[in-house]
Structure 1
Amino acid sequence: MGPHPAVADVRRAVRLALADLEPGDLVLAACSGGADSLALAAALGFVAPRAGLRAGLLTVDHGLQEGSERQAAEVVRLPLGLDPAEVLTVEVGTAGGPENAARQARYAALAEAADRLGAVAVLLGHTRDDQAETVLMRLSRGSGTRSLAGMPARTGVYRRPLLELGRATTVAACAALGLVPWEDPHNLDPRYTRVRVRERLLPALEEELGPGVAEALARTASLCRDDADALDAWADAVYARAAVTAGGDCALSDIPGDVPIIPGAVPSDVPGGAPGDGPTVTLAVPELETLPPAVRRRVLRRAAITAGAPPGTLSAAHILQVDRLITGWRGQRRVEVAGGVGALRRYGTLIFAATRTAAP
């Protein structure tokens, strides 16, 4: 007699996610003790030795509630056949709100541990329901195609084997294995946006529109990802043709208004900037003028990030302002982008550079 169907589904998903790894590779499961990550960790403990892989477990103690240290210690003691098993204690800041700050601290700790232990992959327990919640939250913010693509199955060292499975499957798998998931009080706290989406919005949509909303939203994410990948590849090709990165750093305030910057060339008399400024990036405007907006704006975003704009603070509104330097050019002054980076149009090029004030 085989395993419970839910257990088999989770194990199959993990097996497929690890199919490209080599014998002896170390894989780590990020496990909070909740049903999703607990089912994932148990599946890894079963699949890894049969595939010739080494498997371990990481749990992050955010220190945000009483008893978190005790809960983390209980997770690493679970008899799942995972070694090493470590508690990663982090300090959560305040930047971007509590959810974002906790996420940033968690991923930083996981990345450091993976590097230190020599792991080739860290498995995350996000499910189809998590994907649906992510799409809804981003949709409410007016996000573009890439953002609506939700969470990818792979990002660097991170892998999400359970994106095709619902939360009900992981709960059933834990029950079949005799594992008792930990219910994080934060997962019921309506102060958090994701909790409100999970506990209020998705159930309301299911009630009004019928079952299958989560599956449809996850399918939307997959379709958006295919489109976004194609548009990103197109934008990458355009960037390679249109962008010229200056040999030295430079600030917009250092660029005289009468310096002719020729597309495809970097002016020799543009001085270098102070240490810490991002590189100056120029884009040849003629390469961009006839592009579809979705492609052109991707090129502009990449140029801004290359010049030092933080991706997390670079909004669609910033890029639209820069885009008007191409589509609605009337001799405007520079546009402030984000993170001390600005954009300036000069003689058929668009220049991205630091916006610091020139030294006297």
Structure 2
Amino acid sequence: MSSALLELRNAVRPFLENLSAGDCAIVAVSGGADSLALAYALIKEAPDLAINLIAVTVDHQLQSGSADQAAKVQVELKAMGYQEVIIEKVSVKEESGLEADARAARYAALDAIAKAYGATQIFLGHTRDDQAETVLLGLARGSGTRSLSGMAVLNGKYARPFLQLTREQIVAACNEVGLKPWNDPHNENAKFSRVRVRNSVLPVMESEIGPGIAAALARSAAILRDDADALDEMAQAVISRVDLKDLDCAALAELPRAIRSRVLRAAIYSAGAPGGSLSADHLSAVESLVTSWHGQGEASLPGGVKVARISGRLSLLARP
């Protein structure tokens, strides 16, 4: 067995070993090198552990010929040894940007299939290079600790065994075993910010600063994830003993800002703001009601949530 292939199989095996014999797991396969290599490594390891694998390829219907491409992926996966390969068509509503909306539609489809089949794990093929890109995009947006911590190796049902492997390692393994990945045209379209980071920003950083940038960014993400987890835990301890609809401003002001912002965010979402809708400006407006009070009016937030300071307390209500 080649060293590249051994690295892939060694990466997936611990995740499979954490499952129980007879469990069902899903692998998401676009047909690109990362997901094809993941599917290959899993199908080689899963039978020994009696894990039932289902491959899913999501057709976003965003490009002409997408149905044909999905069918080709299905054929390749069947030849690889998968008995069940699902082609799931989704409709992408372009509301928050094509990349984000396509991702949301894809994850919703995977969640629905996992629920229907009782799958305990959903495998994704993200690599260390993807992690580096995610961190850089977060930095460009001025994101906080949680966003800068990148993608988790394990997040609920979702598992990313290849986060410590490079795209170069994945491609080498594909070449060694004769896999023929599909090159998605969207991955070369410079209108997408991730593509610009991948093809322009990271290469310049490697050239001008030195090699190892992607690895360094991935290490930073891991460190920040530990910090974010600790801060979330401390904030949760506060959240568990307060009424999120009626918060004492003096008590909030005494909290470290990192904890206070998490409590405020939880309160706003609890009041009805849509998930992921809060910006730094939204949170800053609510923060000022606590720490820079000068009689200002209520803060209007997504989802019709209104936050007002009344008699030294924050009142959060959802209004149509």
What TM-score does the superposition give when structure 2 sets the normalisation length? 0.97
Is 1:11 the counterpart of 2:4? The answer is no
Aligned residue in 1 for 2:301: 337
Answer whether contact 1:36 1:126 (CA < 8 A) is retained. Answer: yes
Secondary structure (helix, strand or coil) at the match of 1:353 reads strand
Give the match's secondary structure for 2:126.
coil
**Residue 141 of structure 1 aligns with which residue?**
141
Greater CA drift, 93-102 or 283-292? 283-292
Give secondary structure in 1 for the equivalent of 2:130: helix
Instruction: Provide the residue aligned with 2:60 in structure 1.
Output: 62
- Give 1:301 deviation, angstroms: 0.2
Residue number in structure 2 paired with 1:178: 178
Q: Report the AA paired with residue 15 of structure 1.
A: R
Kindly state the Cα deviation for residue 65 of structure 1 after the two structures are TM-superposed: 1.2
Q: 1:315 aligns with which of 276, 279, 287?
A: 279
Match of 2:24? 26
Query: What secondary structure, in the 3-state scheme, does the structure 2 residue paired with 1:86 have?
Result: strand
2:95: which partner in 1? 95
Gaps of 5+ in 1: 245-280
Partner-residue secondary structure (3-state), 1:342 = strand
Q: C-alpha displacement at 1:286, in angstroms? A: 3.1
Distance 1:211 1:125 in 2: 23
The alpha-carbon deviation at position 331 of structure 1 amounts to 2.4
Q: Does structure 1 retain, via aligned residues, the 8 Å contact 2:24–2:120?
A: yes
| Native 8 Å contact 2:16 2:51 kept in 1 | no
Q: Which residue of 2 aligns with 1:152?
A: 152
Aligned to 1:288: 252
Secondary structure of residue in 1 paired with 2:306: strand
Distance (Å, rounded) in 1 between the aligned partners of 2:84 and 2:118 = 12
RMSD of Structure 2 on Structure 1 (CA) = 1.1
Query: How many equivalent residue pairs?
Result: 318
Q: Deviations over 1:88-117 (max 9, x none)?
A: 011111111111111111111111111111
For 1:315 and 1:18, how far apart are their aligned partners in 2?
38
After TM superposition, the structure 1 = structure 2 runs for residues 1-360 of structure 1, keeping only pairs within 5 Å, are 3-78=1-76, 79-244=79-244, 281-356=245-320
Q: Contact between 1:238 and 1:287, CA under 8 Å: does it hold in 2?
A: no
Q: Give the secondary-structure state (helix, strand or coil) at the position aligned to 1:58.
A: strand
1:153 is displaced (CA, Å) by 1.1
One-letter identity of the residue aligned with 1:349 = R
CA contact (8 A) 1:242 1:287 kept: no
Distance 2:167 2:246 in 1: 47
Q: Output the amino acid matched with 1:288.
A: L
Give the distance between the partners of 1:140 and 1:19, measured in 2 at CA. Answer: 38
Question: Structure 2 stretches of 5 or more lacking a match?
Answer: none
Describe the shift of the 1:19–1:348 C-alpha distance in structure 2 as closer, same or farther (beyond 3 A): farther
C-alpha contact (below 8 Å) 1:285/1:348 kept by paired residues: yes
Letter in 1 for 2:32: G
Counterpart code for 1:342: K
Amino acid of the residue matched to residue 25 of structure 1? D
Q: What amino acid does structure 1 have at the position aligned with 2:23?
A: D
| Paired residues of 1:149 and 1:221 also in contact (CA < 8 A) | yes
Distance 1:329 1:180 in 2: 61
- Provide the rounded CA distance (Å) in 2 between the counterparts of 1:298 and 1:316: 12
TM-score by length of 1: 0.86
